[in-house]
Amino acid sequence: MTNNGTAPKTLGKTRPHQTQNEALVFEKSSPGKRAYKMPPLDVPIVDPAVVLGEAHRSESAQLPELSEIEIIRHFTRLSTWNYAIDLGMYPLGSCTMKYNPRVNEAVARIEGLAEAHPYRPDALAQGILEVIELLQRCLIEITGMDAITLQPAAGAHGEFTGILLVRAWHESQGNARRKILIPDSAHGTNPATAAICGYQVENLKSNAEGGIDLEALARQVDEETAALMLTNPSTIGVFESQIHKIADILHAKGALLYMDGANMNALVGKARPGDFGVDVMHLNLHKTFSTPHGGGGPGSGPVACKAFLEPFLPTPVLVRTARTEGPGTTGLAGQVPETTGQLHWNYDRPQTVGRVRAFYGNTGMFIRALAYILANGPDGLRQTTEDAVLNANYIRAKLEDLYELPYKTASMHEVVFSDKRQAAKGVRTGDIAKRLIDYGFHPYTVSFPMIVHGALMIEPTESESLEELDLFVDAMRSIAKEVDETPELVKTAPHSTRVGRLDEVQAARKPILRWRPSQ
């Protein structure tokens, strides 16, 4: 501890900047300051009002005026308040904040790819179209599905697209059906997606192992059930070992199995959803294939499906005019057949659900994901999965003597504890997460899934080394000890940040998002 007894001395990996009360850039402004020096004007001066007409401003814009060093220091200080994957581990369960290799960024910035305009004629865009097609083939192989669209811009958008496919297929059979079943451990976007697509949501209770109760499922599935939206592994990090039986129960009643692919980081190279009965699923490129995550986008949530759903895919669909067999390009599984003829977008899709995204999706994410897939290859992708599962189980083994483990089922890529033991001392999961900030770590996912009261959802991903995992384990063990000896220290954390605990309800309901000059 430091001399004030609030912040760890040896375990913390980050420290606050010496300046903790940075003013707004407008508040730092002083009239007449400049961050640049321009040479004298050597052309005739023309009245701006004549050139700009009505667009000419009558008053100067209220922009801040600062020196170069003030600007640099201001934004550098702000950057020191941000946590980033380059600083340390993100233990966010189900969010898979894995490291984004720098080579992905370099490839995505190749001039011909980065500057490919979406309105460029297909004949002049064969390079980027080849990238898109190869990624599609890789993802189809990884998932064991038959067809795919890369249009959706995020995971939730992929859910929306996938359930639109479900609805379109049922309508083509003469009955759109009425309801969708969703487990109580599902991501919150699942019921929202079902409702947006016009379905009633029916909750499905988990069993004692945290998985699907087959008897309950059999009772609830009927001729009005359109699909089950299932996350596998589930949000408590448990693989549905009865997945084949789940699929059989649904298919026997004409219902479909939709899989939320958020947790594919535990399956890639080990199991393929298409092989265990999934009809349609979405992927999160940022969760599984190392594209940037967060910040409002751009993201990507491809949707893969079985052949009977292919006619309903969003338009346009990428097709090639002809194919010939023979030795060809290197793909995920090595040599793939040589393809001839040009790639082009097919808009003639009578049964399509329509376009769900401007243009064809976020191509910058496609390039990054493909770079990651090809750099790893089949063996490397399988290794990342095994490492992710190993890391999660290492944390489980190191912490289960101090934190309650509500489900004893084998963990996959993440482990979910509860705060039951700490709650006896008045300390809840949110308190522990805020105290973790003092140790230099981003907090884990708090209070989710909701079937675990006071949940601590932890996912280290395959990115983290043994040294980093041990630092995290030491921090969590130290906090557990603090709860036993000085619980108030944890209940009032964090202590090392520029501000303490905020009124989160007030901040959400009445945020201050705009600076106004004093009158």
- How high is the pLDDT of residue 424? 96
- How high is the pLDDT of residue 332? 58
In angstroms, what is the C-alpha Rg of the chain?
A: 26
Instruction: Determine the Cα–Cα distance for residues 508 and 191; give it in Å rounded to an integer.
Output: 23
- Mean per-residue pLDDT of the chain: 90
Q: If phi over 0 gives left and psi between -120 and 50 gives alpha, with beta otherwise, what is residue 462?
A: alpha
pLDDT at 246 over 70: yes
- How high is the pLDDT of residue 94? 84
Read off the pLDDT band of 1 (50, 70, 90): very low
- How high is the pLDDT of residue 513? 86
In one-letter notation, the amino acid at residue 192 is A
- How high is the pLDDT of residue 336? 47
End-to-end CA separation in angstroms for the chain: 47
- How high is the pLDDT of residue 12? 52
- How high is the pLDDT of residue 433? 97
- Highest-scoring range by mean pLDDT, 25-34, 292-301, 387-396: 387-396
pLDDT at 125 over 90: yes
Q: At what angle do helices 429-438 and 466-485 cross, to 10 degrees?
A: 120
The continuous run of DSSP H or E covering 304 comes out as: strand 303-305
Indicate the SS3 state at residue 417. strand
In one-letter notation, the amino acid at residue 393 is N
Read off the pLDDT band of 124 (50, 70, 90): very high
Q: Cβ-count burial of 53 within 10 angstroms (0-12 exposed, 13-18 middle, 19+ buried)? A: exposed
Q: Cβ-count burial of 79 within 10 angstroms (0-12 exposed, 13-18 middle, 19+ buried)? A: exposed
Read off the pLDDT band of 340 (50, 70, 90): low
- How high is the pLDDT of residue 497? 85
Read off the pLDDT band of 10 (50, 70, 90): very low
b/e 195-220 (16+ beta carbons within 10 angstroms → b): eebebebbebebeebbbbbeeebeeb
Domains annotated on the chain, with CATH: 103-375 (3.40.640.10)
Report DSSP state, residue 209.
T
Average pLDDT over residues 441-465: 94
- How high is the pLDDT of residue 505? 92
pLDDT at 369 over 70: yes
Instruction: Determine the Cα–Cα distance for residues 437 and 445; give it in Å rounded to an integer.
Output: 13
Average pLDDT over residues 29-50: 87
In one-letter notation, the amino acid at residue 107 is V
Indicate the pTM of the whole model: 0.87
Q: At what angle do helices 363-399 and 126-143 cross, to 10 degrees?
A: 30
Q: Supply the DSSP string of 440-479, one letter for each residue.
A: T----EES-STTSTTEEEE---TT--HHHHHHHHHHHHHH
- Highest-scoring range by mean pLDDT, 52-61, 114-123, 206-215, 468-477: 468-477
- How high is the pLDDT of residue 185? 84
- How high is the pLDDT of residue 515? 83
Average pLDDT over residues 235-244: 92
pLDDT at 382 over 60: yes
| pLDDT tens-place string over residues 312-328 | 999 999 999 875 555 45
- How high is the pLDDT of residue 77? 86
| pLDDT tens-place string over residues 173-218 | 999 899 999 998 888 899 999 999 999 999 998 888 888 999 999 9
| SS3 assignment for 329-349 | CEECCEECCCEEEEEEEECCC
Residue with tokens 């080849």: 130
Q: Which of 269, 358, 346, 277 is nearest to 315 (CA)?
A: 346
Q: Supply the DSSP string of 221-260, one letter for each residue.
A: --TTEEEEEEESS-TTS---TTHHHHHHHHHHTT-EEEEE
- How high is the pLDDT of residue 331? 53
